[in-house]
Amino acid sequence: GAGVSQSPSNKVTEKGKDVELRCDPISGHTALYWYRQSLGQGLEFLIYFQGNSAPDKSGLPSDRFSAERTGGSVSTLTIQRTQQEDSAVYLCASSSLETQYFGPGTRLLVL
Amino acid sequence: DQQVKQNSPSLSVQEGRISILNCDYTNSMFDYFLWYKKYPAEGPTFLISISSIKDKNEDGRFTVFLNKSAKHLSLHIVPSQPGDSAVYFCAASAGANFGNEKLTFGTGTRLTIIP
Average pLDDT, chain B: 94
Asked if A102 reaches chain B (Cβ–Cβ under 8 Å), the answer is yes
Residue B1: pLDDT band (50, 70, 90) is: confident
B97 vs A76, more confident:
A76
Question: Is A102 within 8 Å of B104 when comparing Cβ atoms?
Answer: no
Q: Nearest CA to B78 among B13, B22, B23, B33?
A: B13
Choose the mutation target among A24, A43, A47, A101 for the interface with B, i.e. most B CBs under 10 Å.
A43
Q: For position A41, what pLDDT does the model report?
A: 83
Residue A2: pLDDT band (50, 70, 90) is: confident
Q: For position A97, what pLDDT does the model report?
A: 77
Q: Average pLDDT for residues B68-94, to the nearest whole number?
A: 96
Q: For position A1, what pLDDT does the model report?
A: 55
Q: Compute the nearest-CA separation of A90 from chain B (Å).
A: 10
Residues B79-101 as b or e (16 or more Cβ within 10 Å = b): ebeeebbbbbbbbbbbeeebbbb
Q: For position A51, what pLDDT does the model report?
A: 83
B85 vs B96, more confident:
B85
Average pLDDT, chain A: 93
Beta-carbon neighbour count of residue B7 at 10 Å? 10
User: d(Cα A48, Cα A38) in Å, to the nearest integer?
Assistant: 19
Question: Is B43 within 8 Å of A45 when comparing Cβ atoms?
Answer: no
Element (H, E) at A93: strand A88-95
Q: Average pLDDT for residues B9-26, to the nearest whole number?
A: 97
Q: Average pLDDT for residues B76-89, to the nearest whole number?
A: 97
Cβ B60 vs Cβ B45: under 8 Å: no
User: d(Cα B103, Cα A32) in Å, to the nearest integer?
Assistant: 12
Question: Is B102 within 8 Å of A56 when comparing Cβ atoms?
Answer: yes
pLDDT digits (tens, 9 = 90+) for A63-75: 999 999 988 789 9
Q: Average pLDDT for residues B90-97, to the nearest whole number?
A: 86
| pLDDT over 70, % of chain A | 99
| DSSP 8-class letter at A72 | G
Q: ∠ at Cα B65 (B59, B69), nearest 5°?
A: 155
Nearest CA in chain B to A10: B41
Distances from the Cα of B12 to the Cα of A46, A67, B17, angstroms? 32, 40, 10
Cβ B38 vs Cβ B91: under 8 Å: no
